[in-house]
Structure 1
Amino acid sequence: MSFTITTQPFGPLPLPSDRKPLTEYILQYTGTGEFAAVIPEFGGILRRLVLRRQGQLFALLKAPESPQALLADESYASALLFPFPSRIRHGIYAFEGQQYALKMNEVSRNNAIHGFVHGQVFTVINQETTPNHASLTIRYDYPGDATGYPFPFALTVTYELTRADWLTLGSNPEADRLCALRISYSALNTGTTRCPVSFGWHPYFTFNSEPVDELTLSLPARKAIVLDGDMIPNGRLPDSRAETFSLRERQLDTPFIIEPTGTTPNGISYAETVLNSDHAGVKLIIGQETGEGKLNYLVCYTPTRRDSVAIEPLTANVDSFNNGEGLTILNPGEAMTGSMWVRLE
């Protein structure tokens, strides 16, 4: 039993002539059949995640199944969101006395949405296997040439399939034989001026395609953010305690400011969101590092197809380039870092 990293072509059909063929990197634990699949050349997305619990493997992500579907996808499935997640009103913002206009890629609401690293080519800069984990580190170097964002950066992301006992949360006698996925990111200002940044991740979770209406969701203590008709913040609701509720016939497209739910043994403050399947007897736990400059926001979204639920850790509020809520300002040479994880219980 060991951790391995292998590669394979993604999809049987070629991409358009202006795109190189895509390669999928498979991080796998041969002892259980658990694995994660990453496509560096297309936004560095995590396309597949299969984890094990009670002797059963669970496919946990909804994502495109072919290169053609990947190019046509407008749901940002598993996308890394940088230098901003969610929306910027009209794509317009001011920073240090100057106005900027981003490309509007949500035309129906006249907004810029989810940054611009999705679909970009990341480079593999490191891969490692040990008896306890397999990790893949990828990087995207941005020279500062996109419309409305003249601030160079290097975004580095590490996907690590690791022994599930690394977090040592709760009592799980199988932890030393099961895996979890940990994702770490670092956004480095490689320019000569200060720059505004925020980060997010946009996975759609499921249990082997079980209908969302059969699942329950547990959220940490939080404050819901009220959005206007263009999905831009215009208020907040009172504090809510941690709660669990059924997703049956429930529509979600809501950002939250969340409260920490605990601290890891090495002192990291975190919050966890839990998607539960009574039918499978399994809980899917999505964790995010909290604290100053970390992932203190969360968006939950149920797509109309009702086959998954997006649970999106974010470092900042919607329209953060304008309201400044959660926004990080990096000096030249400074980096913003954080981590997330996915595990079964």
Structure 2
Amino acid sequence: MTQGLKPTRTFVGATGIQYEIAGFGYRAVITELGACLRELEFMGRELIVSFAVDEPMIAYRGALAAPWPNRIADGQYEANGIVHQLPINEPSRNCALHGLVFNERWHLIAHTADALSLGLDLLPSIGYPFHLAFSVTYSVTASGLRTSVEATNLGTDIAPYGVCPHPYLRAGASPLNSWTLSLPAERYLEVSADRLLPLALAPVQNSTFDFRQPREIGSTEIDHAFTALRRHDGLASVELRERDGAGVAMTFDDSCSWVQIHTADIPGGGHDRLGLAVEPMTCAPDAFNSQDSVVNLTAGAVHQARWTISAIQ
């Protein structure tokens, strides 16, 4: 523990050291492996789908996805005039999925009763020959669990970059089909049925994906990215509610111009439609190829993204 900080609770599980923070009715557990948000509760009510301390991370629950979110087609992209080949970790779609940092051990920077900062030195590797330094800070406040992720390019070449969180939100104990979703997005990204790769932007109006006015999710299956987000004071908010009005919200700043929504359709094994993945993204899916909102970090440049998960009472 960093000298001078208040003692806090830590324990060890399948995903390494487990760091607990709490305050204002919130309690969160973050893992050493991947700086993953494994648990989040408010007054004892689960706000995300968790996994057990002795289990590996399941379906990227609570993961940080960087230096790219979502998928890169065939794991290939061009940067600085060179074509790079990433390892394929989604073989069924022949894609490189959710970046590199979710399977790295992050080191402790600071840990107090209500905040945690972890760091990672991501060295150049095959397919991503760029050197990035990461820091992430989780803190509980009266407005919820705030997260800030910072990336710095320590190398000399321009590094393509993107980031997103991957929590599966829970409005409550009732089935997902009965939850009401509010999603202030004007457009969504049509994708191929077999590989979920981008095809074209389309308006949500007159589609099954129009949740600009809150409505029940029902049997709708969603695994799409949304953009053209309505904001208030620079912030966009996705809200998920039970029929009694209680629920959970995720709010993010304009560093994230996209948000991926997934109804977690995973038939078999007891994981089907347990929660709604809400993933504020700094860039579009396959952005290393399309360049859609991709962040090109020059030498020494720093990028920061922020979001908050909060209970709706």
Taking structure 1 as the reference length, what is the TM-score of the superposition?
A: 0.81
Question: Deviation at 1:124?
Answer: 1.2
- Is the counterpart of residue 233 in structure 1 residue 198 in structure 2? yes
Aligned length, in residue pairs: 295
Q: Which residue of 2 aligns with 1:313?
A: 280
Q: Which amino acid aligns with 1:114?
A: H
Question: Deviation at 1:160?
Answer: 0.6
Q: Which residue of 2 aligns with 1:175?
A: none
**Residue of structure 2 aligned with 1:43, choices 10, 34, 37:** 34
Matches within 5 A, 1:1-345: 6-11=8-13, 22-29=16-23, 32=25, 34-39=26-31, 41-52=32-43, 57-67=44-54, 69-70=55-56, 73=58, 75-128=59-112, 134-144=114-124, 146-164=125-143, 180-228=144-192, 229-238=194-203, 240=205, 242-263=212-233, 269-279=234-244, 281-290=245-254, 294-304=255-265, 305-345=272-312
Q: C-alpha distance in 1, partners of 2:9/2:76?
A: 41
Question: Deviation at 1:127?
Answer: 2.6
- Secondary structure of residue in 2 paired with 1:107: coil
Q: C-alpha distance in 2, partners of 1:5/1:246?
A: 44
Q: Is the 8 A contact 2:172 2:247 kept in 1?
A: no
Q: Which amino acid aligns with 1:35?
A: R
Spell out, residue by residue over 1:28-81, the C-alpha distance to the aligned partner (whole angstroms, 9 max, x if none): 12x64x311111x210001111114xxxx31111122133x215x3x1111100
Q: C-alpha distance in 1, partners of 2:7/2:179?
A: 33
Q: C-alpha distance in 2, partners of 1:324/1:199?
A: 14
Gaps of 5+ in 1: 16-20, 165-179, 264-268
1:231–1:344 CA distance, 2 compared to 1 (3 A): same
Q: C-alpha distance in 1, partners of 2:10/2:249?
A: 29
List, as ranges, runs of 4+ consecutive aligned residues in structure 1 with deviation greater than 6 Å: none
Question: Deviation at 1:210?
Answer: 2.6
Q: Is the 8 A contact 2:172 2:246 kept in 1?
A: no
Q: Is the 8 A contact 1:221 1:243 kept in 2?
A: no
1:252–1:5 CA distance, 2 compared to 1 (3 A): farther
- Secondary structure of residue in 2 paired with 1:109: coil
Question: Deviation at 1:243?
Answer: 2.2
Q: Which amino acid aligns with 1:283?
A: G
Q: Which amino acid aligns with 1:103?
A: P
Q: C-alpha distance in 2, partners of 1:216/1:195?
A: 39
Q: C-alpha distance in 2, partners of 1:221/1:255?
A: 10
Taking structure 2 as the reference length, what is the TM-score of the superposition?
A: 0.89
1:148–1:297 CA distance, 2 compared to 1 (3 A): same
Q: C-alpha distance in 2, partners of 1:160/1:81?
A: 19
Q: C-alpha distance in 2, partners of 1:309/1:5?
A: 34
Q: Is the 8 A contact 1:271 1:288 kept in 2?
A: yes
Moved more, 120-129 or 106-115: 120-129
Q: Is the 8 A contact 1:93 1:322 kept in 2?
A: yes
Q: Which amino acid aligns with 1:158?
A: T
Spell out, residue by residue over 1:189-230, the C-alpha distance to the aligned partner (whole angstroms, 9 max, x if none): 011211100011110111454310120100013211010131
1:260–1:156 CA distance, 2 compared to 1 (3 A): farther
Spell out, residue by residue over 1:226-285, the C-alpha distance to the aligned partner (whole angstroms, 9 max, x if none): 10131111111125472212111111111111323201xxxxx11000001114x31311
- Secondary structure of residue in 1 paired with 2:56: helix
Q: C-alpha distance in 2, partners of 1:260/1:246?
A: 20
Q: Which residue of 1 aligns with 2:3?
A: none
Q: Which amino acid aligns with 2:119?
A: R
Q: C-alpha distance in 2, partners of 1:152/1:318?
A: 22
Q: C-alpha distance in 1, partners of 2:251/2:53?
A: 28
Structure 1 vs Structure 2 CA RMSD: 1.7
- Secondary structure of residue in 1 paired with 2:155: coil
Spell out, residue by residue over 1:135-166, the C-alpha distance to the aligned partner (whole angstroms, 9 max, x if none): 1111110111x2200000011110010122xx
